[in-house]
Chain A
Amino acid sequence: MAAPTSAYKDRQFLAVIGDEDSVTGLLLAGIGHVTQPPDSQKNFLVVDSKTDNAAIEEAFERFTTERKDIGILLINQHIAERIRHRVDTYTTAFPALLEIPSKDHPYDPEKDSVLRRVRRLFGE
């Protein structure tokens, strides 16, 4: 019943999709990783008002399904809002998806996909 070991033993990185400040802060903490060239892949995406939703979705797809070395995906809540349909339908355990608050958007538990599931389960 547990996920096979292979599903997570290589997952050692965190990935982040967020606004500039959140990404900067998390990178300062040292989560940033760029894979070896030639296909240098970053494990973070900076989203600003100019980034379109397709690019966010693509990054989301890349971090959740394509890359097998990511254990936790952090995403700013207000960005998760923009691709809410994808976030809500994402139920896989690995990588763990975590909605985090950003500087300009304080955390709202009502919008969190996991907390909503919690509420639904306990009929609150």
Chain B
Amino acid sequence: MEGLFFNVNNGYIEGIVRGYRNGLLTGQNYSNLTQCETIDDLKLQLGPAYGDFLASLPPSPSTSTLAARTTDKLISEFRYVRANAVGSLAKFMDYLTYGYMIDNVALLITGTLHERDTRELLERCHPLGWFETMPVLCVATNIEELYNSVLIETPLAPYFKGSLSHQDLDELNIEIVRNTLYKNYLEDFHSFVNTDSEMAGTPTAEVMTEILEFEADRRAINITLNSFGTELSKADRKKLYPNFGRLYPEGSYMLSRADDIEGVRLAVDGISDYKSYFEATGMGQSSSGAGNMSGGAGSDGKSLEDMFYQKEMEISKNAFTRQFTFAIVYAWVKLREQEIRNITWIAECIAQNQKERIGNYISVF
């Protein structure tokens, strides 16, 4: 049923995005990339996919400029799609950008707290999270002004309201602020895809729920693991867990009480996917603390983060097996982001002569 009118508004976009997806680098491309001896070779290999964007680079560009250029391509494609989107899809794509917006606002808050010139911060903001009124935020000179302008000028206002006051911005660690916002954002996004009249009950809701639940679980697990040995209390930690996801509510509750990796492992025991990750990374057997799961730099073992990325990519890849869904836009952005990370990683390995770990990228095609 949902397919009946989908193409009226969104057929073009779906076609474009599927086309973009076919433009993603494949395993064959990646293995060619890893054979490169210099960054220039790499640039040459990337030619077919990124030609125009890399053309202006000087010889032997640094990995960061390479990453910036490849991101530029994603941005321009995203903007094109966004410009053609209408109705719920447009809203959906806006939601997609909120995640980046949160990072940008967090950056601006940091800058304002330290009385830095916020104008130079704008350059560091992620272009996907760029919103028109962002320069307005730079006018704010103290944290209260900033807080008020964020409330008025940005779509993020609902995420601030109710959970953060302007004093909180001053007192709380910026990471806590960021993660609180992100939690609110995920919950909002989740309810959006499940309640919007155009999306509820469609494959979009189905796929997006899977993706967002995974994202929520991933954040909950990461936050728990990373908070060991820091000043973040268990009660505060609990506030950062999104209130949905496969772990919610029992798993989240157990996570909130976990004291060590073993506790986290127990909490995720009910979900076979996560359980297998913990087993694969060898976590839980040795509970000597976070950070040793892959035995320090130099080992080829995959870390939990890698596993999560892998999983995210698989979900994203599978999203393309569905038709008549907005989720492919989300999936495409994530796949493309991973591709940029992969390219950066490979470039980094080549630039720093660390070839033995060059295969650590994640490729799903």
- Indicate yes or no for A touching B, C-beta below 8 A: yes
Asked if A103 is an interface residue, CB under 8 A from chain B, the answer is yes
Residues of A in contact, count (CB < 8 Å): 2
Asked if B62 is an interface residue, CB under 8 A from chain A, the answer is yes
Asked if A124 is an interface residue, CB under 8 A from chain B, the answer is no
Cβ–Cβ < 8 Å partners of B352 in chain A: 103
**Identity of the chain B residue whose Cβ is nearest the Cβ of A104 in the assembled complex:** B62
Chain B interface size band reads under 10
Cβ–Cβ < 8 Å partners of A104 in chain B: 62, 351
A103 to B64, CA, bound (A): 11
A82 to chain B, nearest CB (A): 17
**Identity of the chain A residue whose Cβ is nearest the Cβ of B352 in the assembled complex:** A103
**Identity of the chain B residue whose Cβ is nearest the Cβ of A42 in the assembled complex:** B114
A104 to B61, CA, bound (A): 10
A104 to B64, CA, bound (A): 10
Which residues of B from 349 to 365 have beta carbons under 8 Å from A? Answer: 351-352
A103 to B351, CA, bound (A): 8
Which residues of A from 75 to 101 have beta carbons under 8 Å from B? Answer: none
Cβ–Cβ < 8 Å partners of B62 in chain A: 104
Bits for A98-120, please: 1 = Cβ < 8 Å to B, else 0.
Answer: 00000110000000000000000
Bits for A1-45, please: 1 = Cβ < 8 Å to B, else 0.
Answer: 000000000000000000000000000000000000000000000
**Identity of the chain B residue whose Cβ is nearest the Cβ of A20 in the assembled complex:** B64
A61 to B21, CA, bound (A): 53
A11 to B352, CA, bound (A): 34
A104 to B352, CA, bound (A): 8
B174 to chain A, nearest CB (A): 15
Residue numbers of A with Cβ under 8 A of B are: 103-104
**What are the nearest 3 A-B pairs in CB distance?**
A104-B62, A103-B352, A104-B351
Instruction: Pull 4 A–B residue pairs with CB atoms less than 8 Å apart, ordered by A.
Output: A103-B351, A103-B352, A104-B62, A104-B351
